[in-house]
Structure 1
Amino acid sequence: MTTTDPFRMDISRHIWETRYRAPGEADIRASWQRVAHAVAQAEANDREPWVARFAALLDGFRFLPGGRILAGAGTGHRVTLFNCFVMGEIADDLEHIFEALKEGALTMQHGGGVGYDFSTLRPAGTVAQATGSIASGPVSFMHIWDAMCATMLSTGARRGAMMATLRCDHPDIEVFVDAKRDPAVLRHFNLSVQVSDAFIQAVADDAEWPLVFPLHAGETAADTVLRRWTGTGAPVPCRVVRTLKARALWQRILRAAYDTAEPGVLFVDTINRDNTLGDVEHLTATNPCGEIPLPPYGACDLGSLNLAAFVTAPFAADARLDLEGLADAARLAVRFLDNVIDVSRYPLPAQADEARRKRRIGLGITGLADALVLLGLAYDSAGARALATDAMQTVRDAAYLASVELAREKGAFPAFARDAFLASGFAARLPANIRDAIAAYGIRNSHLLAIAPAGTISLLANNCSSGIEPVFAAEAERRVLQADGRYRTHTVRDYAWLRWQSLGHEGMPPAFIEARALDPRAHLAMQAALQPCVDNAISKTINVAADTPFERFAELYREAHALGLKGCTVFRPNPVTGAILSEPPPDERVQCCGIEREAD
């Protein structure tokens, strides 16, 4: 290994060789050059200077594009450069259900993960008026999707990732919540409950909670309520199928999460209040890891700025985060990700249309915890949260101004409506100069920011801490899924700890703290500090010990809603999913989105 070799860890080289290296590439710099050249093809003029700029952005792992971009750009393969999609609305009839299944299979074949809202499917036991048949319910159809995903894996397709969501007022919500208590079923799905503000209020009031479903044409019912349902633009009459105590359902959701690590929850009203396109879309589903709430056929175009790469004089008294350099990188990364929209293939025409009309991207950060260690800030300190907020505000402001400049150069996204955009919850919080610039020139991208797990690409970057997660451990055994479905285990060491040792120090850096030593509130506090700066969402797993009392576990979800978060996932080691980084049985296929975060 030479001093100019960018890889400091065997696992990083292994990931590059097995996932992101194209035939004939001698080193990762050749991969960066390939990607930069491919993305620059979206430029109408002077492409070569953009190739050089994009390659410099990638150099040294400063910017980590989503894994599909690294793996597919410039290879000539018929693959998408988007990590994940939310698929189209599933109409409640057999023909359209299986059409939706086919669309999911085609998307997975091209390398994309998929998310679905199954709330449109009528509850089990309902008699279909047209045929007289009895509906089997949304969870029964999810088993078909699960089998499809497993079959796609057997063909050598990229590992499938799927998200299923269901409304908290759907009559089959209890079946959905408990579905993964059986460790043998729905192993390729992540599950999330769409939790509304009304439901949270009903829990607080100890009120009755109606479980309902829209009336079809010609149907009547004695007891109805009005609800805006998935796929409807306004409230529609819904039959009240039955009622139960809101607190009983909430406890059931949390007990399942406590026992099996699923389902997560999506605070859908918070998501939609914040949406810059709230006037034209209602969001009810996300990509498999939850950082991008998307409309039907929406796609996530992801990339992460590695904060650890922007720390100057690490561990020294004058250590600092280079915010100016971070802003410069953010501006260039926006152009990079915007270009991906134009050079990518799309599994379905509807996905291409949706991406090009709104031009959503998701620029985020990774390496936060390691950057904090390099700067001498403990993850759970007020100083750490202030630094993280400064970093994310810097990225936000640079990204939005870059998107305005792109609008001046290339045009605003086609669905842009100035007044509605500026009236949205997120845009209302933007600094006045950015709002004025948007009003004057428009903006190229409807959404710009998301904090993804960035698990695999952070391993590629010499095991920097992933996303905004704390450092899991100074040293751990890490398993990596290989093409044959088996695992290869590596000993991995934290990036910041290795930097500390390389300077001749012994022991641990003063600010080093492992995830297991943190109060779970520190996870929530960090997510809450950054959410106001993020127009999409944040993928964050709150790790708690196996012996955490249930009431303390449950309190985290209540706090997450009160803090204005868009979702919450709490992981407690349990008999169904095991412990983080534990070795699975040799014949067990990996689950959808565990600690490895294969979505990137």
Structure 2
Amino acid sequence: MPVSENARTVLERRYLKKGMKGDPLETPEEMACRVAYNIALAEGLYYGALPEVMLRWAEAFYAMMLRLDFLPNSPTLMNAGRELQQLSACFVLPVEDSMESIFEAVKNTALIHKSGGGTGFSFSRLRPHADVVRSTKGVSSGPISFMTVFDAATETIKQGGTRRGANMGILRVDHPDILDFITCKSQTNRLNNFNISVALTEEFMKAVEGGEEYSLVNPHSREVTGRLPARDVFERIVDSSWKNGEPGMIFIDRINRDNPTPRIGAIESTNPCGEQPLLPYESCNLGSINLANMIATQDGHARIDYDKLKATVHMAVRFLDDVIDMNNYPLAEIRTMTVGNRKIGLGVMGFADMLIALGTPYDSDEALAVAQELMSFVQEESGAASCSLARERGPFPNYDVSVFPERGGAPRRNATTTTIAPTGTISIIAGVSSGIEPVFALSYIRNVMDNDHLVEVHPLFAAEMRRRGLYSVERMTELSKVGTLRHLEGIPEDVARVYVTAHDISPEAHLRMQAAFQKYTENAVSKTVNFSADATRDDIRKVFVLAYRLGCKGVTVYRDKSRDEQVLNIGGVNAKEGAQEREASPAPGPEPFVTPRPRPDTLIGVTKEIKTSCGKLYVTINRDEKGIFEVFNQMGKAGGCAASQSEAIGRLASLALRSGVQPGMIVKQLKGISCHLPAWGGNGGGKILSCADAVSKAIEWYLENFEAMFPGFPKPVPGAARPEAKKASHSAWEEEIARGACPDCGSQVERQEGCLKCRSCGFSEC
């Protein structure tokens, strides 16, 4: 396989079979052979198990993957031909309004996450908070409280997995608890294993447009419990999405309009990233065609090679249909529903690379035309391939109760064939841009061994710059810092116009591209509409309204740096703190200087030992009659940089304390700073991200335990910024993500296609 060194690292860490010591037992080429042969065994179910037939298709599947023309979703690459043999990426589980159903769903969620899948739920059937439960005469705790149970189960299961479990939580907009749901993730230490979306109905959207009220309905009693102004609720969704990117919106009636099997059931939820609507107990197998490989050159001009694309689509549809038969489903109910409808989701990746090869700017009318022409072709040919398979093998079992007999035409093998899914790590393996997203960065810094760094440059951009004699490591390093050609001198205008990145593109252009693909996609499209940090609520509102009017099935937005505690890529304050400072800034003028109070001869204090990656750190905290006075840091037997920096942190913290700075403010500034090698602190210390982080945790420990250590002394005032000790903490990897750093390698993470991922090491939140 023509994979890069970075892709090979990703494969070794997450996909290849490993020995007892964690060393790879196969090469990427052998992985492709394993997967291809295993999936081709399904051909024997239809053609008498003839070895020559299975071998012929195994060779064809192998060649397709070896060229990186097509790759299936991650569970198929990881598990095909191995003991687990669970090949699906996405599932939806029902959650009915009973304790038995809720905890059955929790158990099934654990089984799915253990096998590498993600799950979607609608909590819309659960009775609202404080509703009377007749069997016990008690009151219901509501859907949000039960979401925390699912979240905790996911947290436990994902710790040892090669692919972290993810959830989608959906609540209908007419549920009585909708206002609480909209803001349930406003605190960043809750429901971190969930993406959340509000299911908007046509009735609600019409009420928004007309400025009218709409009804809230208790799902248990079916009684109207109240009415709300639709625009007020819509504005709450806008406000919450502006603050931290959630909730997203899905247009549930529009999704059910395209439900191919409405007589079997209504669609209530999607998979975690929103692109795959599914019935309860249904799963779907996804795969993506590498559009960067579908380019041909004629007379010096690049064009889309539709002949190659057609052949790849037909073979990919056959591959995905075979996956259904080779899958080891985690539940019997999932097998029944999945085999009954045989849904597959063929999508694309490398679309931005294709546009660059064609010389077409992503944010142009020409690009929208390419998108519609391309996806209409994929949709038509995938349908034709499904019909061809139906002639060979028969239509999907539920075909007779589907919408297709009424429409006429040839029977189909699959209820759906197309989905634009997140390509997460498989686009890294293929070395191309993600899904239909624009290029996230033309140049970025990748962390390598020994805390060294390597400049990674988009290959097409690097080739173009070399062709023009403009390539240099210095220029590429500068580009990795500014992030866009529009802020880099010496770049020709035509190059800057074609090589645009995600943040060069307006939110409206992002959304119009999503709508262009949605027009010819049977399921849905996973895409993130990126906003700059200074975007307003009005900007978010316009995109949500436009998504509805353009025919999208859902929309997810992300305003850069909108997550609390996220470290800025350029600058040193987080977005929330910076906004508060701007609002409260006094008029410019000279600031009075503070004189630290003098040190007395005698102080009383304690010493806390914390384990760091540099050795044991001894933090001594002394106080006088007014409160905490100083902090001394001693780094065990270590010397050099670690010891000197620890001493410097202590001196500066002491200076701040003696100058009247509240201890909680010091905790806030130091907590969460990370180095290249975190460690577990022991004695309940949790994960220690750096020496600075260790000092913050020592001060926090002191504030929490002061009364027990010094009975009779006045308790120190921690300050308004003191973190609350009683709050549920992030998991280790969530703390890293909250700061914008990859939990595995420390590199910058990208938010695309509805999830976070790291292009350096292949970490993916989805």
- Report the TM-score when normalising by structure 2: 0.68
Indicate whether 1:380 and 2:363 are aligned.
yes
5 Å matches for 1:213-224? 213-216=218-221
Indicate whether 1:300 and 2:264 are aligned.
no
Rounded to whole Å, the distance in 1 between the matches of 2:542 and 2:246 is 16
Rounded to whole Å, the distance in 2 between the matches of 1:284 and 1:532 is 21
Q: Taking structure 1 as reference, are residues 269 and 309 closer, same or farther at Cα in structure 2, changes over 3 Å only?
A: same
- Match 1:263 to one of 229, 234, 247: 247
Rounded to whole Å, the distance in 2 between the matches of 1:534 and 1:193 is 22
- Match 2:3 to one of 3, 7, 20: 7
Q: Taking structure 1 as reference, are residues 297 and 552 closer, same or farther at Cα in structure 2, changes over 3 Å only?
A: same
Aligned-pair CA distance for 1:49: 0.4
**Mean Cα displacement is larger for which, 17-26 or 400-409?**
17-26
Aligned-pair CA distance for 1:299: 0.8
Residue 220 of structure 1 corresponds to which residue in structure 2? Answer: none
Residue 62 of structure 2 corresponds to which residue in structure 1? Answer: 55
Indicate whether 1:16 and 2:11 are aligned.
yes
Aligned-pair CA distance for 1:575: 3.4
Rounded to whole Å, the distance in 2 between the matches of 1:498 and 1:25 is 34
- Match 2:387 to one of 400, 404, 426: 404
Rounded to whole Å, the distance in 2 between the matches of 1:581 and 1:30 is 39
- Match 1:344 to one of 311, 327, 334: 327
- Match 1:251 to one of 219, 226, 235: 235
- Match 1:203 to one of 187, 208, 222: 208
Residue 153 of structure 1 corresponds to which residue in structure 2? Answer: 158
Question: In structure 2, what residue type is equivalent to 1:327?
Answer: K
Rounded to whole Å, the distance in 2 between the matches of 1:513 and 1:273 is 36
**Retained in 2: the 8 A contact 1:289–1:599?**
no
**Retained in 2: the 8 A contact 1:363–1:448?**
yes
Rounded to whole Å, the distance in 2 between the matches of 1:144 and 1:490 is 42
Q: Taking structure 1 as reference, are residues 19 and 449 closer, same or farther at Cα in structure 2, changes over 3 Å only?
A: same
Rounded to whole Å, the distance in 2 between the matches of 1:376 and 1:120 is 50
Rounded to whole Å, the distance in 1 between the matches of 2:245 and 2:321 is 35
Aligned-pair CA distance for 1:491: 5.1
Residue 79 of structure 2 corresponds to which residue in structure 1? Answer: 72
Aligned-pair CA distance for 1:332: 0.2
- Match 1:496 to one of 460, 465, 468: 460
**Retained in 1: the 8 A contact 2:273–2:755?**
no
Residue 568 of structure 1 corresponds to which residue in structure 2? Answer: 555
Indicate whether 1:356 and 2:339 are aligned.
yes
Residue 430 of structure 2 corresponds to which residue in structure 1? Answer: 461
**Retained in 2: the 8 A contact 1:404–1:444?**
yes
Rounded to whole Å, the distance in 1 between the matches of 2:68 and 2:240 is 39
Aligned-pair CA distance for 1:527: 1.1
- Match 2:420 to one of 442, 451, 464: 451
Question: In structure 2, what residue type is equivalent to 1:460?
Answer: I
Aligned-pair CA distance for 1:518: 0.9
Residue 632 of structure 2 corresponds to which residue in structure 1? Answer: none
Query: SS of 1:241's equivalent?
Result: strand
Question: In structure 2, what residue type is equivalent to 1:27?
Answer: T
Question: In structure 2, what residue type is equivalent to 1:48?
Answer: L
Question: In structure 2, what residue type is equivalent to 1:293?
Answer: P
Aligned-pair CA distance for 1:365: 0.6
Aligned-pair CA distance for 1:11: 2.2
Rounded to whole Å, the distance in 2 between the matches of 1:177 and 1:512 is 37
- Match 2:733 to one of 566, 589, 595: 589
Per-residue displacement from partner, 1:188-228 (whole Å, max 9, x unpaired)?
00000001111111111111122111344xxxxxxxxxxxx
The RMSD of aligned alpha carbons is 2.5
**Retained in 2: the 8 A contact 1:85–1:298?**
yes
Percent of aligned positions that are identical: 37
Rounded to whole Å, the distance in 1 between the matches of 2:427 and 2:138 is 50
Residue 119 of structure 1 corresponds to which residue in structure 2? Answer: 124
Aligned-pair CA distance for 1:22: 2.1
Query: SS of 2:228's equivalent?
Result: strand
Residue 578 of structure 1 corresponds to which residue in structure 2? Answer: 566
Indicate whether 1:528 and 2:523 are aligned.
no
Q: Taking structure 1 as reference, are residues 479 and 407 closer, same or farther at Cα in structure 2, changes over 3 Å only?
A: farther
5 Å matches for 1:24-63? 26-44=26-44, 45=50, 46-63=53-70
Q: Taking structure 1 as reference, are residues 360 and 179 closer, same or farther at Cα in structure 2, changes over 3 Å only?
A: same
Residue 193 of structure 2 corresponds to which residue in structure 1? Answer: 188
Q: Taking structure 1 as reference, are residues 184 and 382 closer, same or farther at Cα in structure 2, changes over 3 Å only?
A: same
Residue 225 of structure 1 corresponds to which residue in structure 2? Answer: none
Per-residue displacement from partner, 1:217-246 (whole Å, max 9, x unpaired)?
xxxxxxxxxxxxxxxxxxxxx212222211
Query: SS of 1:534's equivalent?
Result: coil
5 Å matches for 1:307-326? 307-313=291-297, 317-326=300-309
Rounded to whole Å, the distance in 2 between the matches of 1:527 and 1:47 is 38
Please tell me whether Structure 1 or Structure 2 has the larger radius of gyration of its CA atoms.
Answer: 2
**Retained in 1: the 8 A contact 2:36–2:61?**
yes
**Mean Cα displacement is larger for which, 545-554 or 148-157?**
148-157
Q: Taking structure 1 as reference, are residues 176 and 387 closer, same or farther at Cα in structure 2, changes over 3 Å only?
A: same
- Report the TM-score when normalising by structure 1: 0.87
Rounded to whole Å, the distance in 2 between the matches of 1:188 and 1:580 is 23
Per-residue displacement from partner, 1:29-59 (whole Å, max 9, x unpaired)?
2111111001000012310000111011112
Rounded to whole Å, the distance in 2 between the matches of 1:42 and 1:580 is 50
Structure with bigger RCO (C-alpha 8 Å, 6+ apart) = 1
**Mean Cα displacement is larger for which, 153-162 or 115-124?**
153-162
Rounded to whole Å, the distance in 1 between the matches of 2:567 and 2:512 is 24
**Retained in 1: the 8 A contact 2:213–2:228?**
yes
**Retained in 2: the 8 A contact 1:125–1:134?**
yes
Rounded to whole Å, the distance in 2 between the matches of 1:579 and 1:594 is 18
**Retained in 2: the 8 A contact 1:90–1:97?**
yes
**Retained in 1: the 8 A contact 2:171–2:198?**
yes
Rounded to whole Å, the distance in 2 between the matches of 1:493 and 1:542 is 24
Runs of 4 or more above 6 Å deviation: 487-490, 579-584
Aligned-pair CA distance for 1:502: 6.9
Question: In structure 1, what residue type is equivalent to 2:88?
Answer: F
Q: Taking structure 1 as reference, are residues 490 and 269 closer, same or farther at Cα in structure 2, changes over 3 Å only?
A: farther
